[in-house]
Chains A and B, each alone.
Chain A
C-alpha cells in the first residue's frame, strides 16, 4: 500500500445493485467523521454520482479533462455543500471508458493520496475496461451485491477476477436485504451469501423506503438519522476506519411481532 490516503473501490459486476448509493453514503459518512474524502466517478459515459450527491449543476471539468491534461485535479473537484472536506471528481459524460487507462487512475490517485484520507472510486458495472480502471489503484475493494441469484453470481465473478489480479480479497456489502422475506425463507440470508461467496462481510444494508427519496433530493440517506439503511452505512464507514462495530440485528423490525407472540403464548 502506498503512503497517505487509502483508495477504496466500490464495485459489483451487476448493475443496479447500489454501487453509487453505497459510494455516496460511505463518502458522506466518512466525511461526517471528519475524514477528508474525494469521490471519483469512474463510470465514464454514464455519469451518476453527481446527481445522487446533488452536485450535478456545478460540474466544470471532469475525470477525462484531468487525464488529458486540460485541467489540474483541484479544478475538477466539486466541493460538497455540507462538508467542506468532501469532494467529487465527476465522470465525463460524452466519452467512453477507453479515454482513461488503469495507469492514469493509479497516477491520479497517487497525487490525491497526499491531500485526502479516503479516495472513494465508484466503479461502472461490468468486468471490462471501466472495471479495471476502477480497481487498478484500489487498496481495498468493496463488492456490493443483493440477495438475488443474478447479483450473487456476478459478485462471485468479480471476486474471482480480483483474485487473478492479486488484489486483496475484498469485503462484501449485502445491500437491499428484506428481513421479513429472509425470515420467511424467501430470500437468501446474509449467511447464505457469505457461505456461497466465501469472503468477509463488512455490512448488511436493509431495504429501506428512505433510499429513493434521498437520491431524488440529492441528499444521501446516511444523513437521515431515522433511516436503517443510513445507520448501516454509518456503521460500514466506522468499520472502514478500523472500528469494531457489531452487525445490526435484522430482526429488530420484527420486534413488535415477537413481543406480541410472547404476550399471547404467556412466556
Chain B
C-alpha cells in the first residue's frame, strides 16, 4: 500500500516482475487459443452482438463489458450490457420539464 502510494506521488510506475507479466499474457492468449477466436474476430463479434441488441433497446455503450473467461478448462463469454435509463416515457417527461414545448415558448414572446 505505502510503497504504491509513494510511487504514485513520485510519478513512478511500480516495476512489474516478468513472471507476473508472463502469467497475464498467457491468460489472455490461452483463452483465445482455446476457442480459436483471435482478438480481432472477438471484437467483430462484440460489435455485431451490440448492433442486434441496439435494434431493440438503447444500450449504455460507455459501460459495455464483454469478455472471454476461463473456468477450469472451459471458456465462456461473459457480457455485461447495461441499458440506458432513458426509457421512452421518461424521455418525454424530461423534455417537458427541461425544454418547454415550442408553442408555450412562442406564446410568452
Contacts and interface: CB of A to CB of B under 8 A. Distances in A.
A196 B19 contact: no
Nearest to B72: A198
Given A156-B34, A198-B72, A149 B17 contact: no
Interface string B7-50: 00000000001111011011101100110000000000000000
B109 interface: no
B61 interface: no
Q: Say what secondary structure dominates the interface of chain A.
A: helix
B67 interface: no
B30 A153 contact: yes
Interface residues of B, number: 16
A225 interface: no
Interface string A109-130: 0000000000000000000000
Q: Say what secondary structure dominates the interface of chain B.
A: helix
A185 B20 contact: yes
Interface stretch (A40-48, A99-107, A157-165, A252-260): A157-165
Interface stretch (A51-59, A77-85, A187-195): A187-195
User: What size tier do the contact residues of chain A reach?
Assistant: 20 to 34
A196 B27 contact: yes
Contact of B19 (A153, A163, A185, A195): A185
Contacts of B19: 181-182, 185-189, 192
Interface string B44-58: 000000000000000
A184 interface: yes
10 contacts: A149-B25, A156-B30, A159-B73, A160-B73, A169-B73, A187-B19, A188-B19, A188-B23, A192-B19, A198-B73
